[in-house]
Amino acid sequence: MSDSVACFEATHGTAPKCAGKDFVNPGSKLLAVEFMPSVAICSTFVTCACGPDGLMRSRPPVQGPGRFNTHRRQAMIQTEMFDLTGKVALLTGASKGMGKAMATGLAEHGAKVMISSRKLDQCEAAAREINDRCGAERAFAMACNAGYKEQLQELVNATKEKLGTIDIVVGNAGINPFYGSMMKIPDDAYDKIMSTNVKSNLWLAQMVIPDMIAKGKGSIMFTSSVGAHGASTTLGAYAISKVAVIGLARNLAAEFGPQGVRVNAICPGLIRTDFAEALWNNPEAEKRAATQIPLRRLGEADDFKGIAVFLGSDASRYITGQALTVCGGSHMRA
């Protein structure tokens, strides 16, 4: 009898079984086992699963710094509702921050993800990090400036050619080149904000929705902002563009819902990202977070992994046309 089976017997009074057969575990020391349908998780973070002959065998642990908890978590969250195995996701603005976190969450749940942003080296670095975390090649990289229609089309074409038709889209690219009064914003800055933040998402939808209609399902999510819920005396054009993103999501949801395509907007609060650093990296912002945000902290990029998986999966199959706010409670709306 192996040490692992002896340990389990001593703890539970019986040898572990799968499909009525004895557990086979060559080598690892099994101190405690949590059983799920066809899956057991060891305290050494060795994942054990039934083979085709019904015997339960151990899989080697994933090595590397910080990998054990990830391995264990992945094993425990593999439920059909959130399973994205076989799905293809395309993301813009995904080489860092929230976009990278959302790409990571989707990949961790089984999707193959195409990461894009303007800088290829950052995209490639993000893809390597995600693949290392997943222990499999699930993330791929391509440079794309979302403000240019031809580059978006090349991104869509390359994704389909390499990974297959697109099931999930995350339109996360966004810019804000102007801070100040609406009376002083130059025409080119206003046009650039509206083109990148709004029009690019419309282009992206036009490029991917036909394939989603053919499949009878698909999920699109656009990054809006809590800035869409109120006025701003210094970020006016940005706020206007984010209101428009919500309007775009709702109209697409209404038009293509009958064909099974869901479209939603995500409205982040103040998040610790490079994009918003000017807003959060100061004592006043920290004080507001500690006293005015109900969860008493600023948001982190990883706070968006869950909502991306939720909206991309069948867990949200009856949700469309919504603006989901992720803000720690700072913007509560009826």
Report the DSSP pairing between strands 17-18 and 168-171: unpaired
Task: Give the number of other CB atoms < 10 A from CB of residue 312.
Answer: 28
Task: For residue 98, give both structure tokens.
Answer: 């929230």
Amino acid identity at 22: D
Dmax over Cα atoms in the chain, in whole Å? 80
Return the pLDDT at 11. Answer: 41
Return the pLDDT at 6. Answer: 43
Residue 236: C-alpha distances to residues 224, 225, 241, 243 (Å): 14, 12, 9, 11
Return the pLDDT at 279. Answer: 59
Structural contact between residues 149 and 203, judged by C-beta atoms closer than 8 angstroms: yes
Residue bearing tokens 């428009």: 244
pTM for the full predicted model: 0.75
**Helix, strand, coil: what percent of the chain each, to 5?**
45, 20, 35
* Number of residues assigned to the chain: 334
Which burial class, exposed, middle or buried, applies to 306 when counting CB atoms under 10 A from its CB (0-12, 13-18, 19+)?
Answer: middle
Return the pLDDT at 319. Answer: 98
Q: Which of 148, 179, 190, 238 is catalytic?
A: 238
Return the pLDDT at 26. Answer: 42
102-148 tens-digit pLDDT: 999 999 999 999 999 999 999 999 999 999 999 999 999 999 999 99
Report the DSSP pairing between strands 112-117 and 47-50: unpaired
Report the DSSP pairing between strands 56-58 and 139-143: unpaired
**How far is Cα of residue 151 from the mean position of the Cα atoms in its chain?**
22
Return the pLDDT at 261. Answer: 98
The low-confidence residues of the chain, meaning pLDDT below 70, are 1-78, 273-281, 285, 333-334
Backbone angles phi, psi at 210, to 5 degrees: -55, -40
Return the pLDDT at 64. Answer: 46
Structural contact between residues 58 and 48, judged by C-beta atoms closer than 8 angstroms: yes
Amino acid identity at 258: P
Task: For residue 127, give both structure tokens.
Answer: 């893809």
Return the pLDDT at 274. Answer: 64
Active-site residue flag, 190: no
Structural contact between residues 223 and 98, judged by C-beta atoms closer than 8 angstroms: yes
